[in-house]
Structure 1
Amino acid sequence: MEPKAACPAAAPLVERKFHVLVGVTGSVAALKLPLLVSKLLDIPGLEVAVVTTERAKHFYSPQDVPVTLYSDADEWETCVIRAWDRSKPLLFCPAMNTAMWEHPITAQQLHQLKAFGYVEIPCVAKKLVCGDKGLGAMAEVGTIVDKVKEVLFQHSGFQQS
């Protein structure tokens, strides 16, 4: 019997590994990190890594995140984004209080990220922890997971379930 040549494209999609890097910063939205990572890990063939700021860890327990956490003490997130292979999708989920959301600088920054080809998962309106009512809350975990699945399907033929 001859050995088979390794051909990643011929491998069943469930065996193929898709890598997702989640970056989390010091926003109250970091509370959702353990649930987000757990739901992402439910996607067959998906591997997840997390880069977190120390401030973000104030909002969740690192023991509740079922993957290795990489510290952002050296500003990895900024460096990772600047070194990102722009042929690969990058999704971002803004989260901030309503006053910050409504500031004109935020609109400029969102425009710039979209100009780079990055995909926004829009924030939602609700009563925020700070007491504000309005836009600024990070999208719900289910919305984020659905968008990840959609982008995987669009960019790689990933089979949605």
Structure 2
Amino acid sequence: MANQEILPGSTINTESTKPRILLAASGSVAAIKFESLCRIFSEWAEVRAVATNSALHFIDKKALPSNVMLFTDDDEWSSWKKIGDGVLHIELRKWADIMIIAPLSANTLAKIAGGLCDNLLTCIVRAWDYNKPLYVAPAMNTFMWNNPFTKRHLDTIGELGITQIPPIAKRLACGDYGTGAMAEPSEIYTTVRLSYKPRVVVDECS
């Protein structure tokens, strides 16, 4: 969190404001767990969600908690009409205290590592303020996980300050057994919750 100037006569409140969590899903079968992620985080934080078009194959939008607003590429392109209108990927970046990409597919990992921004999710990452936490939970086939490109890309995003929540070993959706399955939603939640530092809210005295 960036340093703030605290005015004389002000008090600091670190308890009353819920964290603002931006949950994002890319195109992996693990996106079937996105509903669970939204539910567990919405019990603690204000949550907004982003999904790529590929992720929508695995997400039942109607099953998401009613208090979680889901944004897609269609919203990015339709929300801007004229100069002066808000740009969605910028507005979401401003709103969020923390961003979590779970699952992070091999394809989206490669895009982020290469600086590409061709959808709402990657545009948010490209515009992200790295003074704020950004977590990723990779999910992919074991051979994709072991591919040399994966380590290279993870090293690159790590240099930006992005925190990885490593995948686990299990029987994958494709039938292979090995490392590559997304960490369980409870593990992702615990990792973020334990690392969270409350936002400082300054109340000016009259």
TM-score, scaled relative to structure 2: 0.67
> Does the Cα contact within 8 Å between 1:123 and 1:139 map onto a contact in 2?
yes
The answer to whether structure 1 residue 128 and structure 2 residue 127 are counterparts is no
The answer to whether structure 1 residue 149 and structure 2 residue 152 are counterparts is no
Q: Secondary structure at the match of 1:134?
A: strand
Q: Distance in 1 between matches of 2:126 and 2:179?
A: 28
Which residue of 1 is the match for residue 13 of structure 2? Answer: 10
Query: Deviation digits for residues 112-139 of structure 1, max 9, x if unmatched?
Result: 1111111100000000000111010000
Q: Secondary structure at the match of 1:39?
A: helix
Structure 1 residue 81: Cα displacement: 0.6
Gaps of 5+ in 1: 1-6
Which residue of 1 is the match for residue 154 of structure 2? Answer: 110
Structure 1 residue 93: Cα displacement: 0.5
Query: Deviation digits for residues 59-96 of structure 1, max 9, x if unmatched?
Result: 12101111111003560111111111110000000000
Q: Distance in 2 between matches of 1:117 and 1:88?
A: 9
Q: Distance in 2 between matches of 1:56 and 1:8?
A: 43
Which residue of 1 is the match for residue 55 of structure 2? Answer: 56
> Does the Cα contact within 8 Å between 1:24 and 1:30 map onto a contact in 2?
yes
What letter corresponds to residue 173 of structure 2 in structure 1?
V
Which residue of 1 is the match for residue 30 of structure 2? Answer: 29
The 10-residue stretch of structure 1 (64-73 or 124-133) with the greater mean CA deviation from structure 2 = 64-73
What letter corresponds to residue 128 of structure 1 in structure 2?
L
What letter corresponds to residue 124 of structure 1 in structure 2?
I
Q: Distance in 2 between matches of 1:126 and 1:57?
A: 24
Q: Distance in 2 between matches of 1:134 and 1:72?
A: 32
Gaps of 5+ in 2: 1-9, 77-118, 201-206
RMSD of Structure 2 on Structure 1 (CA): 1.7
Q: Secondary structure at the match of 2:138?
A: coil
> Does the Cα contact within 8 Å between 1:89 and 1:151 map onto a contact in 2?
no
> Does the Cα contact within 8 Å between 2:19 and 2:199 map onto a contact in 1?
no
Structure 1 residue 110: Cα displacement: 0.6
> Does the Cα contact within 8 Å between 2:48 and 2:70 map onto a contact in 1?
yes
Residues 61 and 114 of structure 1: CA distance in aligned 2, closer, same or farther (over 3 Å)? same
TM-score, scaled relative to structure 1: 0.84
Which residue of 2 is the match for residue 65 of structure 1? Answer: 64
How many pairs are equivalent?
146
> Does the Cα contact within 8 Å between 1:52 and 1:70 map onto a contact in 2?
yes
